[in-house]
Chains A and B, each alone.
Chain A
Amino acid sequence: MARRSAPLLRRLVSSPAPVPAPSAPLPGHGGARRTVTYMPRPGDGNPRAVTLIPGDGIGPLVTGAVQQVMEVIHAPVYFETYEVRGDMPTVPPAVIESIRRNKVCLKGGLATPVGGGVSSLNMQLRKELDLYASLVNCSNFPGLPTRHQDVDIVVIRENTEGEYSGLEHEVVPGVVESLKVITKFCSERIAKYAFEYAYLNNRKKVTAVHKANIMKLADGLFLESCREVASKYPGIQYNEIIVDNCCMQLVAKPEQFDVMVTPNLYGNLVANTAAGIAGGTGVMPGGNVGQDHAVFEQGASAGNVGNENILEQKKANPVALLLSSAMMLRHLQFPSFADRLETAVKRVIAEGKYRTKDLGGTSTTQEVTDAVIANLD
Chain B
Amino acid sequence: MALRRLLQGSVLPRMMGRAAAAPFSTTSGETVCATLFPGDGIGPEIAESVKQVFNVAGVPIEWEEHYVGTEVDPRTESFLTWESLESVRRNKVGLKGPMATPIGKGHRSLNLTLRKELGLYANVRPCNSLPGYKTRYDDVNLVTIRENTEGEYSGLEHQVVRGVVESLKIITRQASLRVAEYAFHYAKTNGRERVSAIHKANIMRKTDGLFLKCCREVAEKYPEIAYEEVIIDNCCMTLVKNPSLFDVLVMPNLYGDIISDLCAGLIGGLGLTPSCNIGEGGICLAEAVHGSAPDIAGKNLANPTALLLSAVMMLRHLQFNNQADRIHNAILQTISEGKFRTADLGGKASTSDFTKAVCDHI
Alpha-carbon separation in the docked complex, A163 to B207 (Å): 11
A276 touches B204 (CB 8 A): no
Among the 9-residue stretches B178-186, B261-269, B337-345, the one with 4 or more Cβ atoms under 8 Å from chain A is B261-269
Alpha-carbon separation in the docked complex, A301 to B231 (Å): 11
B164 touches A247 (CB 8 A): no
Q: A300 touches which one: B163, B169, B233, B265 (CB < 8 A)?
A: B233
Contacts of B209 in A (CB 8 A): 115-116
A217 touches B159 (CB 8 A): yes
Give A37-89 interface residues, CB cut-off 8 Å to B.
Answer: none
In whole Å, how far is B150's beta carbon from the nearest beta carbon of chain A?
9
Contacts of A169 in B (CB 8 A): 206
B167 touches A180 (CB 8 A): yes
A168 touches B204 (CB 8 A): yes
A115 touches B173 (CB 8 A): no
In whole Å, how far is A267's beta carbon from the nearest beta carbon of chain B?
10
Among the 9-residue stretches A1-9, A181-189, A327-335, the one with 4 or more Cβ atoms under 8 Å from chain B is A181-189
A168 touches B205 (CB 8 A): yes
Contacts of B163 in A (CB 8 A): 183-185, 221
Contacts of B205 in A (CB 8 A): 115-117, 168
Q: B170 at interface (Cβ–Cβ under 8 A)?
A: yes
A178 touches B157 (CB 8 A): no
A273 touches B240 (CB 8 A): yes
Contacts of A179 in B (CB 8 A): 166-169
B265 touches A247 (CB 8 A): yes
Q: B3 at interface (Cβ–Cβ under 8 A)?
A: no
Q: A245 at interface (Cβ–Cβ under 8 A)?
A: yes
Alpha-carbon separation in the docked complex, A114 to B71 (Å): 50
Q: B239 at interface (Cβ–Cβ under 8 A)?
A: yes
A247 touches B262 (CB 8 A): yes
Q: A33 at interface (Cβ–Cβ under 8 A)?
A: no
In whole Å, how far is B244's beta carbon from the nearest beta carbon of chain A?
13
Given contacts A120-B203, A217-B159, A247-B265, whether A302 and B164 have CB atoms under 8 Å apart is: no
B165 touches A303 (CB 8 A): no
Type the 1/0 row for B210-221, where 1 means its CB is closer than 8 Å to any CB of A. 101000000000
A174 touches B165 (CB 8 A): no
Q: B237 touches which one: A166, A174, A276 (CB < 8 A)?
A: A276
| Tally of A-B Cβ pairs under 8 angstroms | 183
In whole Å, how far is B123's beta carbon from the nearest beta carbon of chain A?
12
Tally B residues with Cβ within 8 Å of A: 55
Give B112-157 interface residues, CB cut-off 8 Å to A.
Answer: 136-137, 152-153, 155, 157
A276 touches B206 (CB 8 A): no
Alpha-carbon separation in the docked complex, A166 to B209 (Å): 13
Most chain B C-beta atoms within 10 Å of own C-beta, residue among A245, A247, A265: A247
B166 touches A181 (CB 8 A): yes
Q: B266 touches which one: A180, A211, A251 (CB < 8 A)?
A: A251
Contacts of B236 in A (CB 8 A): 247, 269, 272-273, 276, 302
Give A198-221 interface residues, CB cut-off 8 Å to B.
Answer: 211, 214-218, 221
In whole Å, how far is B194's beta carbon from the nearest beta carbon of chain A?
18
Q: B172 at interface (Cβ–Cβ under 8 A)?
A: yes
Alpha-carbon separation in the docked complex, A302 to B235 (Å): 8
Contacts of B270 in A (CB 8 A): 248
Q: A243 at interface (Cβ–Cβ under 8 A)?
A: yes
Known: A247-B262, A303-B231. 17 other contacts (CB 8 A): A120-B203, A148-B136, A164-B203, A178-B206, A179-B168, A180-B168, A181-B164, A185-B163, A211-B257, A216-B157, A244-B261, A249-B265, A272-B234, A273-B237, A276-B236, A300-B233, A303-B232
Ranked 7 nearest A-B pairs via Cβ: A248-B265, A184-B163, A174-B173, A276-B240, A244-B261, A251-B265, A303-B231
Q: Could you list which residues of chain B lie within 8 angstroms of chain A, going by C-beta atoms?
A: 136-137, 152-153, 155, 157-159, 162-174, 200-207, 209-210, 212, 229, 231-234, 236-241, 254, 257-262, 264-266, 269-270
